[in-house]
Structure 1
Amino acid sequence: MYYATTYKSPVGTITMACDEHNLVGLWNEEQKYFGGSIAQQMTQKENMPIFDVAKKWLEAYFAGEKPVISELPLAPIGGEFRQMVWSILCEIPYGEVITYGEIAKKVAFKMKKSNMASQAIGGAVGHNPISIMIPCHRVVGSNGNLTGYAGGIQTKIKLLELEGVDVSRLFVPKKGSAI
């Protein structure tokens, strides 16, 4: 059984989902793939200890502190490839960005392959079920393109600015699915 609650944040209402002990989802309102990793209906339940932990983490994050991801009991639902990509996302330091291509190289190395398509990485990043905490907003195109955030480009910009990233060297694409 999965449980859900909401949290009012500076980037809009966030819905969180958990099993009995782990956070399994965190989505902005109207986010692409909202709840997509949860195969069954979620029951609204406010008084779950994991929600208290997650809300404290979010409060610290939005206050400009640098809460540690490893302090959270996260259990994103997804296959082995996606899990590998999400694990790499958790390694991106606060206030820094990485490209899809750089992640592709890391995944190729871990899988003992000569290369990996950036598009495959983009699919895994885009389906991240625990946004913000698993920081997919820190991934940009190799040319500084801000594409690819399921929560929307403006939310991605706000999160990067909150972390002190110089977004002036980045740009919003004229076309794209995540604008």
Structure 2
Amino acid sequence: MSTQVATSTHVVLDSPVGPLTLVATDGALSGLYMEMQRHLPSEETFGALADPDTEPFATVAAQLTAYFAGELTAFDVPLDLHGTPFQRRVWAALQEIPYGETTTYGELAAEIGSPSAARAVGLANGRNPVGVIVPCHRVVGSTGSLTGYGGGLDRKRHLLDFERETRTGADGATLF
């Protein structure tokens, strides 16, 4: 019986929110980490430095570029997310939050069928290994306040403001 070992590689890209480390495992994106991110895995798990022109990095970079240019509202890249079944349910629900909109931890908990699990949803949200692409920044506190974000509250505020401005346009008209 042979056991196949997953192979990870990584690249570092510049972005409007600072350097992003992209990690791929067997050809699918398994991590997107910001500088000084909470719950950052050890760099040894990132694997070897890869050529940014190889897949999936080239596709992810192109989509991130389009996102930060205000031209892309939903990502379509292969993901390989490792977490508990509960975490994966939360991460799947995060991907359903519309661009430029927010939801609360409690609303997200109810959406996944665990209405009393707002705190657990917050913990799973904080462990999201692919920030921006799996938009955990779109979850706010019950009063609309900006609560914790693994990449820092300044980045969360930047991403939310950017999406709202892009979504409504300079003249206030809704574009998407």
Higher Cα radius of gyration = 2
Q: C-alpha distance in 1, partners of 2:71/2:41? A: 27
Quote the RMSD (CA, aligned, Å): 1.9
Matched, 1:116 2:121: no
CA contact (8 A) 2:108 2:121 kept: yes
- Tell me how far 1:143 sits from its aligned partner: 0.3
SS at match of 1:87: helix
- Which of 70, 80, 84 does residue 85 from structure 2 map onto? 80
The match for 2:37 among 27, 31, 35 is 31
Paired residues in the alignment total 159
CA contact (8 A) 1:66 1:94 kept: no
Partner of 1:175: none
TM-score by length of 1: 0.83
Alignment of structure 1 residues 90-105 onto 2, 5 Å = 90-105=95-110
1:1-179 matches, cutoff 5 A: 1-35=7-41, 40-46=45-51, 47-69=53-75, 71-108=76-113, 115-164=115-164
| In 2, Cα distance between equivalents of 1:40 and 1:157 | 29
Q: CA contact under 8 A between 2:20 and 2:32: conserved in structure 1?
A: yes
- After alignment, is 38-47 or 124-133 more displaced? 38-47
**2 CA distance for matches of 1:63 and 1:12?**
15
**1:138-168 deviation line (CA, Å, top 9, x unaligned):** 0000101101211000000110111016xxx
| TM-superposition CA deviations, 1:17-43 (whole Å, max 9, x none) | 00122000001111001136x983521
Aligned partners of 1:161 and 1:25: how far apart in 2?
Answer: 24
Gapped regions of structure 1 (runs ≥ 5): 166-179
CA distance 1:11–1:118, change in 2 (3 Å): same
Aligned to 1:35, the other structure's residue is in SS state: coil
Q: Which amino acid aligns with 2:13?
A: Y
Shift of 1:117: 1.9
- 3-state DSSP of counterpart to 1:3: strand
TM-score, normalised by the number of residues in structure 2: 0.84
Amino acid corresponding to residue 28 of structure 1 in structure 2: M
Secondary structure of the 2:22 match is: strand
Matched-pair contact (CA < 8 Å) for 2:128–2:136: yes
Q: Indicate the percent of aligned positions where both proteins have the same amino acid.
A: 39
Amino acid at match of 1:11: V
Task: Tell me the amino acid that sits aligned with residue 123 of structure 1.
Answer: L
Separation of aligned partners in 2, 1:5 and 1:41:
9
Letter in 1 for 2:83: G
Counterpart of 2:144, as a letter, is G
In the alignment, the residues of structure 1 paired with residue 124 and residue 91 of structure 2 have an alpha-carbon distance, to the nearest angstrom, of: 8
Counterpart of 1:149 in structure 2: which amino acid? Y
